[in-house]
Copies of this chain bind each other. A is one copy, B any other.
Amino acid sequence: MTLPHPNTDQISLPIVLGVLGDPTRLAIVRYLASKEGVPLNCSQFLDLGSKTNLSYHLAKLREAGVTRAEVVGTNRMITLRRADLDARFPGLLDSVIAASADDPALPAVGGHDIEVTV
């Protein structure tokens, strides 16, 4: 049960840019970058949309070659394809992540305002 991913040399610049041109997906990438090395399952992103909608966006990211999804039991472990993207488009991911880091308009994962009831 492996999911389809493009090879590194099949990753297309306009497709990657188009896929990153969506606030939800940019927020996913931003969060993956902040947790690099830690594989995350889909439910980590539920702040960003419904389960169905995330399934759609995560599939887009995977099909574009931005993320990798590994099936582990009932989970899909999602990671950034950083090495592949760096090889194909040097500097691109870094500049996108750096720019997204200080974009207040982007939705955020784990950005709950914790209700402190005294």
Binding site for B on A (CB under 8 A): 12-23, 26, 88-92, 94-96, 98-100, 103, 105-106
Contact = CB atoms under 8 A, between A and B. Distances in A.
Contacts of A15: 21
Contacts of A18: 17-18, 21-22
Contact of A92 (B13, B88, B96, B103): B96
20 contacts: A12-B105, A13-B100, A13-B103, A14-B21, A14-B22, A14-B103, A14-B106, A17-B21, A17-B26, A17-B96, A88-B99, A89-B95, A89-B99, A90-B98, A91-B91, A91-B94, A91-B98, A92-B95, A94-B95, A95-B95
Contacts of A95: 89-92, 94-95
